[in-house]
A and B are shown apart, each in its own frame.
Chain A
Amino acid sequence: MKFTKTLAAAAAMGLALSGSAYADADPVKAGFIYVGPIGDLGWTWTHDQGRLAVEAEYGDRVETSYVESVPEGADAERVMSQMARSGVDIIFTTSFGYMDPTINVAAEFPDVAFAHATGYKRAENVATYSARFYEGRYVIGQIAGAMTETNKIGYIASFPIPEVVRGINSAYLAAKSVNPDVEFKVVWVYTWFDPGKEADAANALIEQGVDVIMQHTDSPAAMTIAEEKGVYAFGQASDMSAFGPNAQLTAILDNWGPYYIDRVGAIMDGTWESTDVWDGIGAGMVGIAPFSDKIPADVQALATETIAAIASGELHPFTGPINKQDGTVWLADGEVADDGTLAGLNFYVEGIDGELPN
């Protein structure tokens, strides 16, 4: 009797153990919601590269899935819910506009982890993450300031939201620091991704005498036009030298792989928590592509120094004295802008011409 009981208990324990071992063998499921097509070679493409990095890192231990071109709003909520219901363990929602849908769906699925890119609302199972792109902008701003011969730098901007304004301000401050005569010309195209409009904007800027182009839009159209017209440009989110072998000086690289690998790993060993991650060059989330040979050695050296200084925290792009465009003081000498102000930045710094739309 006792023996049978022990046997039964042993058997039960064996089953339970093998059951959990079986559970461990279940791959972790990670889902990605994209706002654009993965072929955009910009924002969504880089996130998808991150997803592929996760697959490469974990192999059979992970199963990823994605839905692309999901409009923000009710559709996003539905897709997230479906993903959550199908047993996904963590869902990455890669656009600001997914903020409310993420919070709503997360409330209904407390056992699923959510991570929302570029947002500011968190919950127990919702983390946020973003990259300090303005650090990358500072680096390319310096290079642009040094490389321009007409002293006119063109900026193709998408929407007047804090992230874009941060980029313009940061690039301008950097350019001005190496070239006091530099002038920024900003064109607002009101889209993240429209190759035709971006090409038109690039052409319009070049015709107005610009010889270096920066963009906060997602396609390589501007780079292609820059190559054609013989001016310089910077790749956005990815290395665009295929489109501008002569034109690209360098590029700001979005590198989501390390963050995604880290977060999926946290799910795997059960240590995942809601966090807010705003990493930059130091943590490897923002990268700078190899410099073009066209950049003279001294400029390359300066840029390399700047990258190192930013990475180590020695240099913060928004360090005073800086005034707002209307002349009032923003940052005193040596004062560094706090993350809160930066997150909601909605004014130009002194020296930038033109009005910020609303």
Chain B
Amino acid sequence: MLRLEQRQQPSKLMLYLTPVLAVLTTMAVGGLLFVALGIAPGRAIYLLFIDPFVDRYNLSQLFVKASPLILIAMGLSIGFRAGVWNIGAEGQFIMGALAGGAVGLALWGMTGWWILPLMAVAAALGGALWGLIPALLKIRFNASEILVSLMLVYVAENFLAQMVQGVLRAPDGMGFPESRNLGRNEPTALPDVFPALGINAGGVTMLVLLTLAFFLLQKHALGFQIKLTGDSPRAARFAGVKPGVIITLCLGVSGAAAGLAGLFELTGAAGKLTIDFPLGYGFTAIIVAFLGRLNPVGILLAGVVLAGTYIGGENAQFMLKLPAAAVTVFQGMMLFFLLGFEILINYRVKRLRRAV
């Protein structure tokens, strides 16, 4: 019989070990899954977890995929720490891209170093405003931000479809529902900074913001308030923390981060606005946030690992005929295992001895 016994202090070792344990266990269980699917487990695991970091081309794609995930997850984690659950990052991603893209398209034909930063500001504002809708409704009407932000994702998706068919549609695009290509238009294209790892201007911004988030959470009074609100809402109230401020801040910041990520994706990897522009990053970022244990350094690592599994998964598909769905199962499993192992931080496992 196994029993859980609460620890005196949360175990620091487990704090760092749990994500590693989660990844290792996923590899093991995943290996069994591959055998069941009739795929060589060793090769599959190599392709999913090792190859993306070893192969030069894959490496150059790594941060292309990881940056948006990390940026969004960083914003989300601030809210999650405070118990503010933003599930609508996907919608904020879309709205940010729409806002920034609209500015870029409106200024089409003009040149100047200021265009791209202006688009970024518009995108951050767009995403923030979309995130502030659930904030407002929560503060004023006590409506669940989980559900409102989620509903707004669907609204945003439909709005995007409407925009790319109408106002934002490329005039010389043969009537297809997509915008002009902002990624290939010099004034609006996102410049590369460190191509060997796939880091472009968006990636650099992400790293800067991540550092800022680190300092906010660790050193700033506001960071303390955020963490306090999450751990004990009552204590936070006694300490004079205004819940409305925290909610607005968290949803606004995560919305802005998601919106920025949307713009970087638009002006970098995707190039143009289409109906299929949203790729589910808003939801995957939630996994990244938790895998990274809601702290900036962890999120950086988790984002890189998850991006690696995406890239590795694509290769495994055509090299080993791995079904696309297997990668999603993997990612879900990783989160499950992480959540399971987390208990070891606050509890230790003791075997009950039979009374003699």
Q: Which of A's residues lie within 8 Å of B, judged by CB? A: 31, 37, 65-75, 78-79, 81-83, 85-86, 96-97, 100, 120, 159-162, 165, 190, 343-346, 357-358
Task: Find B324's partner among A68, A73, A344 (CB 8 Å cutoff).
Answer: A68
- Taking the nearest CB of chain B, how far is it from the CB of A235, in angstroms? 25
Within 8 Å of chain A (Cβ to Cβ): is B54? no
Task: Find A358's partner among B61, B169, B268, B271 (CB 8 Å cutoff).
Answer: B169
- Taking the nearest CB of chain B, how far is it from the CB of A90, in angstroms? 14
Q: Which of B's residues lie within 8 Å of A, judged by CB? A: 57, 61, 64-65, 158, 161, 165-166, 169, 174-178, 181, 184, 265, 268-272, 274-277, 279, 311, 314-315, 317-319, 321, 324
Are A96 and B271 within 8 A (Cβ)? no
Query: Which residues in A have their C-beta under 8 angstroms from that of B268?
Result: 74
Query: Which residues in A have their C-beta under 8 angstroms from that of B279?
Result: 71, 73, 75
Are A120 and B166 within 8 A (Cβ)? no
Q: Report how far A147 CA is from B174 CA in the complex, Å.
A: 34
Q: Report how far A159 CA is from B181 CA in the complex, Å.
A: 20
Query: Which residues in A have their C-beta under 8 angstroms from that of B61?
Result: 78
Are A73 and B161 within 8 A (Cβ)? no
Task: Find B57's partner among A73, A81, A165, A343 (CB 8 Å cutoff).
Answer: A81
Beyond A160-B165, A344-B174, A345-B175, whether A97 also contacts B318 by CB under 8 A is no
Smallest CB-CB separation from A77: which chain B residue?
B269
Task: Find B318's partner among A31, A120, A345 (CB 8 Å cutoff).
Answer: A31
Q: Report how far A190 CA is from B165 CA in the complex, Å.
A: 11
Are A71 and B169 within 8 A (Cβ)? no
Are A100 and B271 within 8 A (Cβ)? yes
**28 A-B pairs (CB sep. < 8 Å):** A31-B318, A37-B324, A66-B318, A67-B317, A67-B324, A71-B276, A72-B274, A72-B276, A73-B271, A73-B276, A74-B269, A75-B279, A78-B61, A78-B311, A82-B318, A83-B318, A86-B319, A97-B274, A97-B276, A159-B275, A165-B175, A190-B158, A190-B161, A343-B174, A344-B174, A344-B175, A346-B175, A357-B165
Are A162 and B174 within 8 A (Cβ)? yes
Query: Which residues in A have their C-beta under 8 angstroms from that of B64?
Result: 74
Beyond A100-B181, A161-B176, A161-B177, whether A358 also contacts B165 by CB under 8 A is yes
The 4 closest A-B pairs by CB, nearest first: A74-B269, A346-B175, A73-B270, A358-B166
- Taking the nearest CB of chain A, how far is it from the CB of B346, in angstroms? 39
Smallest CB-CB separation from B317: which chain A residue?
A67
Q: Which of B57, B64, B165, B321 has the most CB of A within 10 A?
A: B165
Smallest CB-CB separation from B178: which chain A residue?
A97
Query: Which residues in A have their C-beta under 8 angstroms from that of B311?
Result: 78
Query: Which residues in B have their C-beta under 8 angstroms from that of A78?
Result: 61, 311, 314
- Taking the nearest CB of chain B, how far is it from the CB of A234, in angstroms? 24
Smallest CB-CB separation from A346: which chain B residue?
B175
Query: Which residues in B have their C-beta under 8 angstroms from that of A66?
Result: 318
Smallest CB-CB separation from A37: which chain B residue?
B324
Task: Find A68's partner among B184, B270, B317, B319 (CB 8 Å cutoff).
Answer: B317
Smallest CB-CB separation from A162: which chain B residue?
B175
Q: Report how far A78 CA is from B310 CA in the complex, Å.
A: 11
Are A73 and B174 within 8 A (Cβ)? no
- Taking the nearest CB of chain A, how far is it from the CB of B261, in angstroms? 13
Query: Which residues in B have their C-beta under 8 angstroms from that of A165?
Result: 175
- Taking the nearest CB of chain B, how far is it from the CB of A242, in angstroms? 24
Are A96 and B176 within 8 A (Cβ)? yes
Q: Report how far A62 CA is from B277 CA in the complex, Å.
A: 35
Q: Report how far A149 CA is from B54 CA in the complex, Å.
A: 66
Are B174 and A82 within 8 A (Cβ)? no
Smallest CB-CB separation from B165: which chain A residue?
A358
Beyond A96-B176, A358-B165, A358-B169, whether A69 also contacts B318 by CB under 8 A is no
Are A82 and B315 within 8 A (Cβ)? yes
Q: Report how far A70 CA is from B175 CA in the complex, Å.
A: 23
- Taking the nearest CB of chain A, how far is it from the CB of B290, in angstroms? 24
Task: Find A79's partner among B175, B269, B314 (CB 8 Å cutoff).
Answer: B314
Q: Which of A67, A83, A85, A159 has the most CB of B within 10 A?
A: A67
Smallest CB-CB separation from B322: which chain A residue?
A67
Query: Which residues in A have their C-beta under 8 angstroms from that of B174?
Result: 120, 162, 343-344
Are A85 and B318 within 8 A (Cβ)? no
Are B314 and A75 within 8 A (Cβ)? yes
Task: Find B175's partner among A83, A97, A100, A161 (CB 8 Å cutoff).
Answer: A161
Query: Which residues in B have their C-beta under 8 angstroms from that of A162?
Result: 174-176
Are B318 and A160 within 8 A (Cβ)? no
- Taking the nearest CB of chain B, how far is it from the CB of A298, in angstroms? 38
Q: Report how far A198 CA is from B319 CA in the complex, Å.
A: 34
Query: Which residues in A have their C-beta under 8 angstroms from that of B319?
Result: 65, 86
- Taking the nearest CB of chain A, how far is it from the CB of B169, in angstroms? 7
